[in-house]
Chain A
Amino acid sequence: MRTEDLIRALADDSASRPEPVARCFVTLALAGVLAAACVFTLILTPRPDLSVAIATPRVMFKLVVALILIGAAGSLALRAMRPEAQSSLLSTLVPVLALLGVGVAAELIGLPPAAWRQLLIGSNALACVTLLPLLSLLPLGTILSALRYGAPSQPRLAGATAGLLAGGIGAALYALHCPDDSPLFVAVWYGLSITVVTALGAALGARWLRW
């Protein structure tokens, strides 16, 4: 086929005005949040003392860290839709890790070493590392779909960013159920769960986000 023939057909294919990337991304991300919230109501319950606990500094800390992660990963994922955008995963992670580090340090300093082990083990670390990723799965799916509509220049990295965002959403939801409030617990077990979701996102991104 001659190139000018192809160009003519491409010019003819202009009926549908494609949707702007930002709107597509936000719609699909919100759909993911909604889906995760539905899964939450189906398989989990909010912690019984939520209305009280949510005002305590440690629970607020959990939620704030999750929300900062969502904000940072979300804006990075949106940027990744454009092929010319430069992405730095590190710049997303640094504020989150710094905040987490401050929380952990405050915890370790404020409590005797004898108490650390119990805080770290918590009441149910196994539940955390299975349920948090589970909550993140549907958001991961919708966010990857959004990225497919875009043109990410680094598919694996874009997938990892999607995983971070989905993990953040899962973390925010799981925090409503989880009775373990220690920053130590959060850093290790939420951190591990989010890392798993991020790695899954990267693996899926490498295959699904090629264009």
Chain B
Amino acid sequence: MMDQELEWSSWMRAGNAGDNAAYARLLASLTPMLRGLARRNLTRTRLEFDLEDVVQETLLAIHLKRHTWEETRPFGPWVRAIIRHKLVDAARRRGFRIEVPINDFTDVLAAPTPNPERSVGSVERYLDELPTRQKDVVRALTLDGATIRETASRLRTSEGNVRVALHRGLAALAARIRRFET
């Protein structure tokens, strides 16, 4: 686990310094662990959870709060704290109180990934509630797999505007998710 954490730390640091590929690698590497933890902690509730929704909400939270990680501190406790918070939050919003033990992370086997073939998922559904510009940009960059440059030319605007719309759109998505309760 320590080696894994050191690797994550270095990717996070690289991401902070501008290496987008390292940051993407970090998020992809965290994903199987997130799936395993979501499965372990949420299926106990015997409620139908779309686990992949929770995984995506957690990745979004890790992204939006990444500035709260201080590079001099260990990465593991930080990311685990965020994951715990989001798992509890995901359960609470669906009407459940759960507790995630701090030590729950030590032997999570990476869930064998098949990323479930999914139809829509809640993150995509909330997209529709965003203001038009943000919705178009986030849609283009996620569902359509476009780059920032391609999106800028498709929407006839500058790359700078696209970046701003993406940034705001992601924050707005998180706010929508927060407000939604089943």
State the A residues within 8 Å of B (CB): 1-21, 81-84, 149-151, 153, 210-211
Contact = CB atoms under 8 A, between A and B. Distances in A.
B24 A151 contact: no
B32 to A, nearest CB: 10
Interface range, B side: 35 or more
A13 B63 contact: yes
A9 B68 contact: no
Nearest to A1: B124
Contacts of B123: 1, 6
B121 interface: yes
B120 A1 contact: yes
27 contacts: A1-B121, A1-B127, A3-B31, A3-B52, A3-B56, A4-B115, A6-B59, A6-B142, A8-B145, A10-B24, A10-B170, A11-B21, A11-B23, A12-B166, A13-B166, A13-B170, A14-B18, A15-B167, A16-B163, A21-B67, A21-B68, A81-B68, A83-B78, A83-B81, A84-B77, A151-B61, A211-B174
Nearest to A83: B81
B27 A11 contact: yes
Interface string B68-104: 1110010001101110110001000000000000000
Nearest to A149: B67
A9 B170 contact: yes
Contacts of A5: 142-143, 145
Contacts of B167: 13, 15-16
Contacts of B70: 20-21, 82
Contacts of B138: 9
B23 A14 contact: yes
Interface of B: 15-16, 18, 20-21, 23-24, 27-28, 31, 52, 55-56, 59-61, 63-70, 73, 77-78, 80-82, 84-85, 89, 115, 118, 120-121, 123-124, 127, 138, 141-143, 145, 147-148, 163, 166-167, 170, 174, 178
Query: Which 7 pairs from chain A and chain B are nearest by CB?
Result: A18-B67, A83-B81, A11-B24, A84-B81, A1-B124, A151-B65, A5-B142
Chain B interface helix/strand/loop/mixed: helix
Contact of B141 (A9, A18, A153, A210): A9
A1 B123 CA distance: 7
A21 B141 CA distance: 28
Interface centre among B60, B66, B85, B118 (most CB of A within 10 A): B85
Nearest to B160: A15
Contacts of A9: 138, 141-142, 166, 170
